[in-house]
Every structure is written in C-alpha cells, then in structure tokens.
C-alpha cells in the first residue's frame, strides 16, 4: 500500500508539472484542444459561429446556423495526446445544442516489482463530456450554459466530478462586426483521489472581437481576451489573436498570450473546401517542447 501511494504521489506531481497552467488541480478542464482558437492564443470568448464556442463561451453557439461536426487531434508534450469530438445543432427558434467529448491520455508507464519484473502498466487518462445550450433571450444578447462530467484515472485511483459554465455575448455592431463576451467556467464538485482533493479551476473570461473586410475578399478578425483564475491569487492574463482570411479559402492565424512573467506565441492556418474546413495550430512552450493541433470541421449546409 505504501508503495502504491508513493507511486501515486510521484505521478500526481508529474501530471501537475505537465498540465498545470495555473497551479491548481484539474487543469485538463482548462486546456483548449481546438486548432483554430489555439493558433489565436485562445482569444475566443467573443468569437462565434463554430464548435470552439463549446469550450470558450456557450453563448456563441447561438450564431451557428448549420449542423457542424468537428474532430481534433492534439499532440502535446510529455507523451500526452488529446482526442476531441464536438458537434453543434441548431433547433431554430428553440436554441442551439452542442456536445463535446475530450479524451486525453499519456502513454502507459511500465511498473516493475522488487525483482525487476514487469508488473503491469501505470495508466493516466482523463475524459470530459460537455453538453451545451445557447438561446438568444434578447435578440442581440444570447446566453449559454455548459454542463460537464469528467472522470480522471491516475495509476489505480479515480475521481469523478461535475461542473457548469455560464456565458453571455452581446452584438455591438454589424458592420464592422463587433462582439463582446463574458463567461464563468468550471463551477462544480468532485470526488477525491484517495484523500487528496484538487481545487476546481474556476475561471472568469471577458473579451471583444472585431471583424471586417479590408479589400475585396480579404477579411480580418482581431480578438482580445482577459482571463483570471479565481481559485488562485494572481493577476489576469491577456490573450490577443488575429486571423486573415483570403477569399474564404485560406486563413492565416497568429496570437500572443501575456501570461504573467512570460509571453507565449501561437501560429496556424486554415483551409476551407466547400463544407470541409482544415485547421492547424503550432504552439511552442519554451523548454517543455512544441505542441501541434489538427482539426477537421464538417458543416452540413442546408
């Protein structure tokens, strides 16, 4: 039992070092798997119209008109990978529903006994299921809610929890398009790893986005978000993202995150082919290594 507990503590410390972005537990709830928004430094609280809104601000789903299915693979550091499925469906005058399923895992460690023989694998994985709903209570101000279920396995120990997000957006101007957004994330409850209870990463986001045509078929989107982790006494962080779209075919994206004592840059691009959209994001993390995200969106236009 002491050996198992010792292994568990070492893995918990390793997991915290790999995933942590704010020094609290359950940081997998704060990691964005999507390629498009990641390449814009996660400045997406006030950007609408696709499945990214499930993660950032469920109110943004109200701007979705057609059904969308999205698949993402996210290769992170520490042999950690994420697989993400999301879907959005508009019910007309009854609002918009969304579903997100995120599965992240680290390739299993091999456990050895006192004789040096293999004793099995040490598994580490998390799964989060999010159900979203958005409705324009006021024509220019939609509201949204997420209900999340998550389950985490670390070595031989598991924990389960539930959380909710609340979001709102406001349509400020049509041309150029200016939107504002606000959301509170990860208010919830969880069970414990043995007797170890992590804090829920309660998070507050606020942002604005600006979108307009520059010349002919070239448009620009600029988004700014501020983000504060409530459960830790620290200053808010600032994320700025930009997207240039050429003839609705090729998109170039970039962003910068001002995260306390460090700056984090991100880059990516998107290709639109009729109803299919491909996005790629590259985000380097100094000495930890580089991360890569690939997202495929399929829109079923009516």
pLDDT tens for each residue of 96-112: 999 999 998 876 565 65
Question: What pLDDT score does 289 carry?
Answer: 80
Percent of the chain that is helix, strand, coil (3-state, to 5):
15, 60, 25
d(CA 204, CA 230): 7
Q: What is the model's pLDDT at position 206?
A: 97
pLDDT tens digits, 9-40: 444 444 554 444 445 567 788 889 999 999 99
Q: Which domain holds residue 211?
A: 2-299
| pLDDT at site 72 | 97
What pLDDT sits at residue 231?
A: 74
Instruction: Give φ, ψ of 3 to 5 degrees.
Output: -60, -45
Q: What are phi and psi of 28, to 5 degrees?
A: -65, -20
CATH assignment of the domain containing 44: 2.40.160.60
Give me the residues of the chain with pLDDT under 50, please. Answer: 1-14, 17-22
Number of domains in the chain: 1
The closest alpha carbon to 104, from 150, 50, 64, belongs to 150
**Would you state the pLDDT for residue 181?**
97
What is the per-residue pLDDT for 287? Answer: 72
pLDDT of residue 25: 63
């Amino acid at each position: 039992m002491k050996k198992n507990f010792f292994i568990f503590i070492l893995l918990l410390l390793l997991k915290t070092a790999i995933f942590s972005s704010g020094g609290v537990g359950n940081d997998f709830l704060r990691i964005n798997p999507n390629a498009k928004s990641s390449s814009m430094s996660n400045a997406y609280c006030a950007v609408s119209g696709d499945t990214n809104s499930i993660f950032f601000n469920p109110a943004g789903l109200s701007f979705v008109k057609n059904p969308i299915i999205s698949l993402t693979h996210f290769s992170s550091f520490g042999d950690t990978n994420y697989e993400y499925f999301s879907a959005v469906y508009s019910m007309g005058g009854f609002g918009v529903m969304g579903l997100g399923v995120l599965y992240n895992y680290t390739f299993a460690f091999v456990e050895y006994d006192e004789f040096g023989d293999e004793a099995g694998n040490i598994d580490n994985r998390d799964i989060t299921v999010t159900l979203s709903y958005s409705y324009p209570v006021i024509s220019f101000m939609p509201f949204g809610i997420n209900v999340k279920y998550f389950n985490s396995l670390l070595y031989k120990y598991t924990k389960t929890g539930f959380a909710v997000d609340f979001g709102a957006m406001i349509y400020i101007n049509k041309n150029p398009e200016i939107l504002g957004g606000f959301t509170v994330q990860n208010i919830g409850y969880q069970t414990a790893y043995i007797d170890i209870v992590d804090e829920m990463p309660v998070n507050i986001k606020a942002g604005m986005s600006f979108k307009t045509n520059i010349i002919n078929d070239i448009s620009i989107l600029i988004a700014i978000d501020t983000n504060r982790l409530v459960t830790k006494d620290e200053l808010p962080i600032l994320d700025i993202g930009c997207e240039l779209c050429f003839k609705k075919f090729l998109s170039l994206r970039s962003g910068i995150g001002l995260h306390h004592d460090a700056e984090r840059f991100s880059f990516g691009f998107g290709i639109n082919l009729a109803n299919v959209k491909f996005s790629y994001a590259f985000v380097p993390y100094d000495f930890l290594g580089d991360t890569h995200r690939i997202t495929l969106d399929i829109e079923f236009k009516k």
